[in-house]
Structure 1
Amino acid sequence: MPGCFAWCPRQVKTPSQSIIETKSSKRLSDLENQVTPSTAMYAIDGGLAFAEALESVSDLIPIPLLSNFVGVAIKVLEACEEATIIEENVKDLQGRVYNLTLVVIHTVPVSGNTSVELRGRIKQLQSLLDIIIADLTKIKEQKKWLLVFFRTMNKERIDKCKERLNAALEQFNVGSQLRVEDLLEKIKSDYSAFAAQLNRIEEAVHKTNQPHNAPLPRQDMPPPPHIFFGREHVVDNIVSLLVSEHASRVCIAGVGGMGKTSVALAVIDSATIKDAFAKRYIFWVPCVEAKSADLLRRILYAQLRITAESYDSLDPLIAELDASKERRLLLLDNFETPWLSGQPEDQTRVGDILVRLAALSHISLLVTMTSGFAPGDIQWQTIELPSLDPTAARNTFETLYPAVADSPKLEELSKALDRNPLAITLMAAHGKGSHASADDLLQEWNTTGTEMISRVDRAISMSVHRVEVMESNHNALTLFAILSMIPAGTTGINLRWWAPNLTSYLAPVQILRTAALIEQDDESFETSRIFVRTTIQYMPPVIRFVIDHRSTPDDSTFKSDLKALASEETNIQGLLMQIDVHTSRPRALEALIAFAFYQSWTKPSTVLASHAVMIATAAHEDPDVPDPDAAARRVAEAHQCLGKTLFRLDQYNEAYAHFEEARGRFKDLPGGPDLPHAGECSLELLRTQMFINIADGDELEPLVEELKASLSHDENQKYHVARGLFAVGYFLWWSRAEDEDTLNKLGTAKQIFEELDCPASTAECLYVMARTYIRRYEHLEGLPLAREALGKAEQSGDALLISDIALTVAGCLIALELYDEALGSVEQSLSSAQAVGNPLGIAQNLEFLGYCCAAKMDLPGARIAYEGARMQFAKIKSVQARNSLAICSVNLEELGRITEIDKIALSALKQSDFVHN
């Protein structure tokens, strides 16, 4: 919240330590002269904004008396905001309550040790505020015509409220020499010692309720067009629709090249729009990359700056938009991509997204799309852009290419181009680059005609086949065709993957820039992003790119492969999602599954993995499939990938079903069983059952024997043999067998993994070995192993593994009462858990954070962290989560009964078994 209370929300937790005492009572008029905020302050910090600030603080005030009073004051301020028909009197009353609340907060000491007399006076004021609320409620409940008819009577009622408040203020003896600005500075100063720490805790908890990192990079809104003729009346019309009393749904439709985006950006830049919508509530949503409903949903999350545990559902986004009734404006630009690019069923899902957005009465929608119809079952105000009028067309051409300003052929040329803004822009660039006259350009157009129309988004391109500089280099045409088919462009260094047959790249890029067909930012060639202005559906060499960067956390290239795939993630996902059941490219399906595995390690999403299962199954069931064994293997891999994704999202029961399906398919391949992969699926089944906790050790022993036999059937394959040894050691630890047997199995597996240079599996072995010592309360022995495991996990790059092991390090440090070091490990673990959106890891870290705060005598921080942990555990369906949920609830009750933490209070808090497990 801006202005003088910008420091207040979610920071102030206790009142000032000083007590305002006065030796004489002054009349309220004196107080008003000294304390009443200025008109400017009201403009910045109105009653409702101040109420929201107080509300964010009131629950954290550890003094019940003051917290209750602030709660009642909030209700008065909110009620005042709703009684707008008698605004002057209400604002006056609101100002007095504003002042009163400041003074009361400043008057009650930090310790909360108030005298009986002071408590009585505060309760008396609170009772008066209750009466004022009742009066305001009666006014609010009147029908509008009664409010107008009884306007004088209602003003008198407000005046009586003010008189009662005046008398109470005099009795409270608040005649202070302090001005409001001084009060604010004093309160701010009193609480500054708490602010930084509480901000840190609050921010951590806020992130946990929205734990995932951004699904896609957020893009900045382009600037409004600087060359813009003939569209002013269209802009004014759209502006009037958007600022109307009811939220509008406006669609700018038409053929390609008519300047729909330029008009929309001019609308956004309008002063009227800026007055109607706060800058932070105007959003540009570029849909040109959204070739599926899933990508559209992810782009919405990114552009609206909303994060969620998972981006597979629109529910968190809708809930956050609905939480505040502030007017918002969403510009969905190039909406033809999600609406027209996918399958019919995908269009239904895109339509559902539109309907849900349109159902929010405070959201105005502005859509641009290349189509003759507006999208979805929504009542749109459709604006179809016509061609430019002759004057606007001429002004545009002359501005872009001044050399033809006096040409008598310019009018005829503009008419031949149908006065299409994009056609004019490209033709002007063509003429400027070749120094052609308007007559030359017209003759060329009349000669070549539609041969100059590009396939790029059905828009007219004047520079593809006839620009002289492009004809001089065939590579430029090839590169342009490829770049036209990449949704988000690419970097210079990655051009070799998208255009592997080109012999050079620098010259074609320069030619395309000269022809104004591509854009390139100002960084170095290798890191700069190169893109064209529009796209069409196409499958470029993305398949090779993904397959060449396919690896696992035990591979030395895993971290670099993750980085390479991340740099092209938007392009890759958009193109791979176009693979449908009719795809006849086995390598395309192979790339789809490989990329779904990549997402399971970075940003788990069931959308791509589920799509891979569907496509692989359809390909396998095709009676004409050329390689049945390979097709069956891809189905098994797809199920394994979906199971892995679900497991990392803590959806254990669903994950179990897909691991079981994958194991069966690997064992039943037409060309013979793939036992190593079947064994890995059995290991995943074992791990999943441990989390579900539906079986005891005896029931799991057959599964352990099976996976051991599958993984070690060939003694020459040392990696798989070591994976079998690890699985047995992991099971022995879980079933609480003899520790020596556990450590021996894990130690042998670790040695093999180290010889093979497999960092992730080495880390897993060390991790379970450390937990073996921790369970025996030998934390000094377990801590070095846990730290060594963390180093190996960091070397691998597996974020979830890093999170799990860093959490174990934190548990050791907590047990050893090294709380400052523990907080550092919690921060690392929480960051990694949030990066992959892992609910269990997030919840466990918050629980540890709560205990560390309590151990450092930080009561507000402990409450916030435990509450965040409780909310996260409640979302997870497992025995472990239910047990931890109960512990957090008990600890919150314990913390709610105290006003400060000491050693006795700390000893009453329960620790999760995970600290010693």
Structure 2
Amino acid sequence: MGKTSVSLAVVESLLLRRRFSYSNSIWVPCIGATSADSLIEILYVQLQLPGDGQPTLGKIISELSQLKDPRLLVLDNFETPWYAPGDTQKQVGDILRQLAQLKHIALLVTMRGSRPPCDKAIKWQSKNIQPTDEEACLHIFYEINPDAKGDPDVGRLLRLLGYMPFAVTLMANLGKEAYLTAKVLLDAWLECGPDMFSDNPEQSIARSISLSVDSYLVKQNPNALLLLSVLSLLPGGTTRENLSWWAPTLKKALIPAAIATLSKAALLVQNKQQDSKLILFVIPVVQSFMQHQGRIPEHLRKEVHSACCRYVLEHARRYDLPKFMVESKLIAAEDTNIHAVLFDTYMTSATTLTDTTMEAIIAFCWHRCDTKPSLEIVEHALEIAYAYRVERYIALATWCLGKTCHQVAQFRLAYKHLQQAYKRFNDLSVDRRLREYACQCGNDLVDASRNVFPREEVVSLARKVEKKCATLGDNLIHGRSLMYLAFALQEADRRQEALPFAEQARVMLAGVGNLCHLSNTYQLIARIHYYDKKLPDALDMITQASQLAARSGSPFFEGFVAVEFGMILFTLDRDAEAREQIELAYMKASSYGDEHCIVLALDYRGYGYLREGDYLNALKAYEAASGKWAGTNETKSEQFCKENIAKIKQKLRTPEAVIGFRRPGFDNNDSLLYPRPRAASPVAMH
């Protein structure tokens, strides 16, 4: 029925343009949103929210809430997530309801169905798109193809089209661009058969699209059909510049003519993004037609898939390797498309899988782990690895799943998967690369165990992994193992044993120039000095750690170092600087989706307010933290947080009571905190 065309016309209308500028109208293609999580990811990408962290609905709502100018969200083809199988509708409904509650956000939803979504909670201005009358269709047809005026067969053609606006638009464009009379178009329509009048609107639209796709206008330009096929595989659309690697066989000089042809045939839309880049986008109904009618040749699917694999493998970097920040942005720019192409059902079937596909899938999963962790994606990758039945890839995917669990603070699951991966790698260690994987996975296993097991058990595991890493002859891997051993010893209150290992790790990691892990090591040494009450040394080390973390560009390390920096500054009574570090930690952790760092930052935010005697804000911070300790091994901090909530409520009930509060669990001072009274507000004298 032309849902997308109608919504485009509404968005382009003068009335809406007065309210919403081009940059404040955001197109959200929902055809690829087969779950609530994927809908959130598409929203996150289309809204171009800052930070590379894990996309969450809370983050989207928070960012939108801070906007001042009105925004229009166009949720196109919303039936895909709304009618997805399972209990998805409730989750999708929650997303829609929360968006609708934002007073400065307007929603325009297009979908198939007889009732709008969440119609009990949301007061929609609903409009069913009905076939237009003959007069309106004649206006559409003649406006597009004025040469057809006076053609006696136009009226009959429109009647046979059922007065469907989308079909009329396509036919009018074909007539204009290919210089076809209404009789020729009518004959072609009749040749398609009476099923054009089927009650199934998809079938009618598909037939109409076939007339456009198979028209002489398109066929006379093979590059146009090639471009259409490629873009139909890319649900997020792409820029003209990026076509060079999605369609390497399409010569750059021929792209403008191909774009012009598809635009004339009403098969291509060019959307301007907030950064002023034009996104070439095939409307979803055409994408669906191309993909499900066998219109895209198998060899082209393979070419696009191969190009995608090459691009991912060329640009994928782990967070602790050089050029990570630059290269990860190149992958993030095409995230939606890479996900769709890499995980294409045909290309990931057991009969068509290749080593290159598996390596690209796992590389993409590591990219997401280090930028926007997604358990759904890596779990899918593990299923594919099991279908491929190659132990190496099963181990790699399991390792990535474990690390992804760690990044989203599911520490027990992280340890479980990392332990399985570590065992698989050790069973496979027949070449150096696999032994490197085993050691790297072992380091991640030790890191995860710190949040799960008793301290001495972690020390024992860390010693075993360090011993294994020492035989490898790789200073980066061995340096990390020494660092984690030192962390384990420090957390077991064996600081004098920890310091030599930490210093050895610092020398090794400085030698290889790894800023991420070097900053982590300086942070560790600062912590050792802090608990030994050597505050000047601790301040010196944490300052260097902060500088290194900032240079690394990793929000993960910047966040955790900032928490530690804030802790030390609070102890030195430099509260203003401490609060700045805690807020930096919260910002970095939120952008990345690191729940562990977020809860620590909230805990210290509450502590900072307590020190000022600001009990209401302290209560808000502690209550925000209270539900986030689950899955961590921070039992002391969790208990202190709960105690402080109860004590603050008591203080608010009886302000005159003298109450001592718990300091954070990581503080080196176990004494109670007695907040200083807040200064009275100045009173104006008249």
TM-score of the aligned structures, taking structure 2 as reference length: 0.75
Contact 1:601 1:798 (C-alpha < 8 Å) held by counterparts? no
- The structure-2 alpha-carbon separation of the partners of 1:523 and 1:606, relative to structure 1 and needing over 3 Å to count, comes to closer
Q: Does 1:832 align with 2:570?
A: no
Q: Does 1:429 align with 2:173?
A: yes
- The structure-2 alpha-carbon separation of the partners of 1:518 and 1:456, relative to structure 1 and needing over 3 Å to count, comes to farther
CA distance in structure 1 between the aligned counterparts of 2:520 and 2:374, rounded to whole angstroms: 24
2:323 aligns with one of 557, 560, 563: 557
Q: Does 1:817 align with 2:593?
A: no
CA distance in structure 2 between the aligned counterparts of 1:458 and 1:374, rounded to whole angstroms: 27
1:669 aligns with one of 428, 444, 464: 428
Determine which structure has more spread, i.e. the larger CA radius of gyration. Answer: 1
What is the CA distance between 1:385 and its match in structure 2?
6.9
Q: Does 1:753 align with 2:490?
A: no
SS in 1 for 2:86: helix
Give CA deviations for 1:530-552 in whole Å, capped at 9, x if unaligned. Answer: 21112235674333332222111
1:496 aligns with one of 244, 252, 267: 244
1:676 counterpart letter in structure 2? E
Q: What is the aligned partner in structure 2 of residue 736 from structure 1?
A: 493
**Number of residue-to-residue matches in the alignment:** 605
What is the CA distance between 1:683 and its match in structure 2?
2.0
Q: What is the aligned partner in structure 2 of residue 705 from structure 1?
A: 463
Q: What is the aligned partner in structure 1 of residue 443 from structure 2?
A: 683
Q: What is the aligned partner in structure 2 of residue 168 from structure 1?
A: none
2:337 counterpart letter in structure 1? N
Give CA deviations for 1:242-282 in whole Å, capped at 9, x if unaligned. Answer: xxxxxxxxxxxxxxxx2245668999999xxxxxxxxxxxx
Give CA deviations for 1:134-174 in whole Å, capped at 9, x if unaligned. Answer: xxxxxxxxxxxxxxxxxxxxxxxxxxxxxxxxxxxxxxxxx
Q: Does 1:532 align with 2:316?
A: no
CA distance in structure 1 between the aligned counterparts of 2:10 and 2:277, rounded to whole angstroms: 33
CA distance in structure 1 between the aligned counterparts of 2:372 and 2:141, rounded to whole angstroms: 47
Q: What is the aligned partner in structure 1 of residue 384 from structure 2?
A: 615
Q: What is the aligned partner in structure 1 of residue 391 from structure 2?
A: 632
What is the CA distance between 1:738 and its match in structure 2?
4.7
CA distance in structure 2 between the aligned counterparts of 1:862 and 1:643, rounded to whole angstroms: 34
Q: Does 1:544 align with 2:310?
A: yes
Q: What is the aligned partner in structure 2 of residue 872 from structure 1?
A: 628
- The structure-2 alpha-carbon separation of the partners of 1:712 and 1:875, relative to structure 1 and needing over 3 Å to count, comes to closer
Q: Does 1:789 align with 2:532?
A: no
Q: What is the aligned partner in structure 2 of residue 296 from structure 1?
A: 39
CA distance in structure 2 between the aligned counterparts of 1:832 and 1:524, rounded to whole angstroms: 23
- The structure-2 alpha-carbon separation of the partners of 1:891 and 1:911, relative to structure 1 and needing over 3 Å to count, comes to farther
What is the CA distance between 1:560 and its match in structure 2?
1.4
Q: What is the aligned partner in structure 1 of residue 258 from structure 2?
A: 508
2:138 aligns with one of 375, 382, 394: 394
What is the CA distance between 1:830 and its match in structure 2?
0.2
CA distance in structure 2 between the aligned counterparts of 1:690 and 1:823, rounded to whole angstroms: 27
1:483 counterpart letter in structure 2? L
2:589 counterpart letter in structure 1? A
Q: What is the aligned partner in structure 2 of residue 722 from structure 1?
A: 479
What is the CA distance between 1:373 and its match in structure 2?
13
Contact 1:312 1:607 (C-alpha < 8 Å) held by counterparts? no
Give CA deviations for 1:678-698 in whole Å, capped at 9, x if unaligned. Answer: 222222222222222x3242x
Residue correspondence of structure 1 range 182-197 to structure 2 within 5 A: none
2:361 aligns with one of 592, 595, 620: 592
What is the CA distance between 1:753 and its match in structure 2?
2.4
- The structure-2 alpha-carbon separation of the partners of 1:668 and 1:391, relative to structure 1 and needing over 3 Å to count, comes to same
CA distance in structure 1 between the aligned counterparts of 2:608 and 2:91, rounded to whole angstroms: 42
- The structure-2 alpha-carbon separation of the partners of 1:498 and 1:269, relative to structure 1 and needing over 3 Å to count, comes to closer
CA distance in structure 2 between the aligned counterparts of 1:519 and 1:489, rounded to whole angstroms: 9
Q: Does 1:569 align with 2:319?
A: no
2:415 aligns with one of 647, 656, 662: 656
2:225 aligns with one of 474, 477, 480: 477
Contact 2:137 2:163 (C-alpha < 8 Å) held by counterparts? yes
CA distance in structure 2 between the aligned counterparts of 1:473 and 1:679, rounded to whole angstroms: 54
Give CA deviations for 1:804-825 in whole Å, capped at 9, x if unaligned. Answer: 1111111111111111111211
SS in 2 for 1:691: coil
What is the CA distance between 1:707 and its match in structure 2?
1.0
Contact 1:422 1:460 (C-alpha < 8 Å) held by counterparts? no
- The structure-2 alpha-carbon separation of the partners of 1:583 and 1:557, relative to structure 1 and needing over 3 Å to count, comes to farther
Identity rate of aligned residues, in percent? 30
- The structure-2 alpha-carbon separation of the partners of 1:312 and 1:513, relative to structure 1 and needing over 3 Å to count, comes to closer
SS in 1 for 2:498: helix
SS in 1 for 2:451: helix
Give CA deviations for 1:296-333 in whole Å, capped at 9, x if unaligned. Answer: 365589999999xx999999999xxxxxxxxxxx9974
- The structure-2 alpha-carbon separation of the partners of 1:461 and 1:555, relative to structure 1 and needing over 3 Å to count, comes to same
1:474 counterpart letter in structure 2? P
Contact 1:454 1:464 (C-alpha < 8 Å) held by counterparts? no
Contact 1:550 1:561 (C-alpha < 8 Å) held by counterparts? yes
Contact 2:509 2:517 (C-alpha < 8 Å) held by counterparts? yes
1:347 aligns with one of 63, 85, 93: 85
SS in 2 for 1:520: strand
SS in 1 for 2:322: coil
**RMSD (CA atoms):** 4.7
1:838 counterpart letter in structure 2? D
CA distance in structure 2 between the aligned counterparts of 1:767 and 1:523, rounded to whole angstroms: 41
CA distance in structure 2 between the aligned counterparts of 1:522 and 1:285, rounded to whole angstroms: 13
CA distance in structure 2 between the aligned counterparts of 1:839 and 1:357, rounded to whole angstroms: 21
Give CA deviations for 1:156-197 in whole Å, capped at 9, x if unaligned. Answer: xxxxxxxxxxxxxxxxxxxxxxxxxxxxxxxxxxxxxxxxxx
Q: What is the aligned partner in structure 2 of residue 466 from structure 1?
A: 215
- The structure-2 alpha-carbon separation of the partners of 1:444 and 1:890, relative to structure 1 and needing over 3 Å to count, comes to closer
1:603 aligns with one of 372, 395, 411: 372
CA distance in structure 2 between the aligned counterparts of 1:700 and 1:512, rounded to whole angstroms: 61
1:829 counterpart letter in structure 2? A
SS in 1 for 2:235: coil
Q: What is the aligned partner in structure 2 of residue 910 from structure 1?
A: 662
- The structure-2 alpha-carbon separation of the partners of 1:338 and 1:811, relative to structure 1 and needing over 3 Å to count, comes to same
2:225 counterpart letter in structure 1? L
Residue correspondence of structure 1 range 263-302 to structure 2 within 5 A: 286-292=29-35, 294-296=37-39, 298=41
Structure 2 unaligned regions, length at least 5: 14-25, 62-72, 102-106, 121-125, 197-201, 292-300, 670-686
- The structure-2 alpha-carbon separation of the partners of 1:395 and 1:304, relative to structure 1 and needing over 3 Å to count, comes to same
Residue correspondence of structure 1 range 43-58 to structure 2 within 5 A: none
1:764 aligns with one of 496, 515, 520: 520
What is the CA distance between 1:417 and its match in structure 2?
4.5
What is the CA distance between 1:912 and its match in structure 2?
1.1
1:912 counterpart letter in structure 2? P
Of 652-661 and 786-795, deviating more is 786-795
Give CA deviations for 1:322-378 in whole Å, capped at 9, x if unaligned. Answer: xxxxxxxx99742564589xxxxx733546657989999x99x99865799999xx9
SS in 1 for 2:573: coil
SS in 2 for 1:873: coil
TM-score of the aligned structures, taking structure 1 as reference length: 0.57
SS in 1 for 2:280: strand
- The structure-2 alpha-carbon separation of the partners of 1:875 and 1:557, relative to structure 1 and needing over 3 Å to count, comes to same
- The structure-2 alpha-carbon separation of the partners of 1:877 and 1:366, relative to structure 1 and needing over 3 Å to count, comes to farther
What is the CA distance between 1:878 and its match in structure 2?
4.4
Contact 2:565 2:578 (C-alpha < 8 Å) held by counterparts? yes
- The structure-2 alpha-carbon separation of the partners of 1:385 and 1:862, relative to structure 1 and needing over 3 Å to count, comes to closer
